[in-house]
Amino acid sequence: MMWTLVAGAIGMWAGVSDDPRLDWWREARFGLFIHWGLYAIPAGEWNGKPVEGTGEWIMHNAKIPVPEYEPLATRFNPTRFDARRWVELAKAAGMKYIVITSKHHDGFCLFDSKHTDYDIMDAAPFKRDVLKELAAECARQQIRLCFYHSILDWHHPDARGERFPKYAEYMHNQLRELLKNYGPIGVLWFDGEWIDEWNNELGRRTYELCRSLQPDIIVNNRVGKGRDGMSDARVTGGDFGTPEQEVPATGLPGQDWETCMTMNDTWGFKRADDHWKSAGEMIRMLVDIASKGGNFLLNVGPTAAGEIPQPSIERLEAMGAWLRRNGESIYGTKASVFGQLPFNGRCTVKGDRLFLHVFEWPADRTLALAGLRNKVRSVKLLADSRELRFEQVGSSVTIHLPDTPVDLVDTVIVVALDGAPEVISTTTGKAGP
């Protein structure tokens, strides 16, 4: 059966704005999320028993009172932490930015804050400013550094009830430290905005504070009151939507967005969590997300010793190997212009080229494009530039594929057109297998 690429409704790549602030971020497409803190010490166990839920929620899920949790700081001495190694790994994975937890819900700060002693310089034996070391390495290796900062804070005594305004001032003071002392920051990634004390007005003031300190900074939609992550950044404030652990079926039309995802089932390190996604699965997720116009923020949870788990390293290196061959079909691309693709794969677009991502090689080794107004100039395999035979009759193009794919996870075919792709907005082929 000939697979017909059905030209459905003309897809519009839906950027919420053409604000140049987001240019680097849209080009980047792929970033590293790092959840690291005191929770890596218990690593999913408390009093000898496993604790349900993600590693970084252990204080809440094991109902650990502050006086019992706080002393973990005196044991936080990640002597194997190596900022150079972490940044090299992110780059080897093909990632273009790093988002690290400056402070997660447990309130412990990975940076030297003058507004609390509950930080890595005062409360922990390590006495090194992790964010400072990462900032230096990111500058040296030219990758963007970004901060995750939790609005929710289980440690700070003012972070609830009527004393919350005092906590909001504390939080703003720490944001000033983060945005004045660590160089240019790409993204401020807020979280924990679902608490009753938070609202869109506080979110707006926080957004304005961040932009006043670093005008080019990008801020996610969780700065405002939008719990499901997919809330429209135009409503909650912020610059992009943040679906979590999922890829919305149609992306988030009309706004910029980024899916954040764990490699196993936890954000913070859990010794017992070995439920790892394969590198192939995550490569296809990256392609799926890019085909819908989104970014992929993929997480690692380093150990208490400061090491990124070996299964994470292996997956990051495999993803980087695929991107070294095929990155052109991801970085700086826009969403597919086609509706539902009838073959198991995706389409990304850049300028006058279509990138057809074929996940499952068609048994008859043909792909048929229908509804394409453009003239096809050439068809090649991206990985080795091998020319592929094709015929075009009007708006229908038939591509003849080699017997076997060059990449079992995703073989990318480049279709060069006589201009930006234009599709006829009617369904002209058999939809679906």
Where do contacts with ligand FHN occur on this chain (CB under 6 A)? 54, 56-57, 191, 244, 260, 267
CA distance 269 to 88: 20
Closest separation in Å from C-beta 244 to ligand FHN = 5
User: Is the CB of 244 or the CB of 265 nearer to ligand FHN?
Assistant: 244
User: Is the CB of 83 or the CB of 297 nearer to ligand FHN?
Assistant: 297
DSSP string computed for 12-40: ----S---GGGHHHHHH-EEEEE--SGGG
User: Is the CB of 36 or the CB of 164 nearer to ligand FHN?
Assistant: 36
Closest separation in Å from C-beta 148 to ligand FHN = 7
User: Is the CB of 191 or the CB of 288 nearer to ligand FHN?
Assistant: 191
Closest separation in Å from C-beta 242 to ligand FHN = 7
What are the angstrom distances between the C-alpha of 418 and each of 44, 305, 352, 392, 422? 56, 55, 7, 13, 10
Which residues are CB-neighbours of 183 under 8 A, at least 6 positions away?
Answer: 135, 139, 145
User: Is the CB of 122 or the CB of 244 nearer to ligand FHN?
Assistant: 244
Q: Are the beta carbons of 395 and 387 closer than 8 angstroms?
A: no
CA distance 383 to 372: 24
User: Is the CB of 191 or the CB of 273 nearer to ligand FHN?
Assistant: 191
Torsion angle of the four alpha carbons 347, 348, 349, 355, in this order, in degrees rounded to the nearest 10: -70
Tell me 10's DSSP state. Answer: P
Closest separation in Å from C-beta 181 to ligand FHN = 23
Closest separation in Å from C-beta 248 to ligand FHN = 15
Closest separation in Å from C-beta 195 to ligand FHN = 11
Closest separation in Å from C-beta 73 to ligand FHN = 19
User: Is the CB of 222 or the CB of 334 nearer to ligand FHN?
Assistant: 222
Closest separation in Å from C-beta 29 to ligand FHN = 18
User: Is the CB of 189 or the CB of 343 nearer to ligand FHN?
Assistant: 189
CB count within 10 Å of CB 247 equals 19
What kind and span of H or E run contains 231? none
What kind and span of H or E run contains 87? helix 83-92
C-alpha closest to that of 269 among 298, 243, 307: 307
Q: Are the beta carbons of 105 and 56 closer than 8 angstroms?
A: yes
List 109's β-bridge partners, or say none: 103, 119
Q: Find the residue with minimal CB distance to ligand FHN.
A: 267
3-state helix, strand, coil in the chain (%, to 5): 30, 20, 50
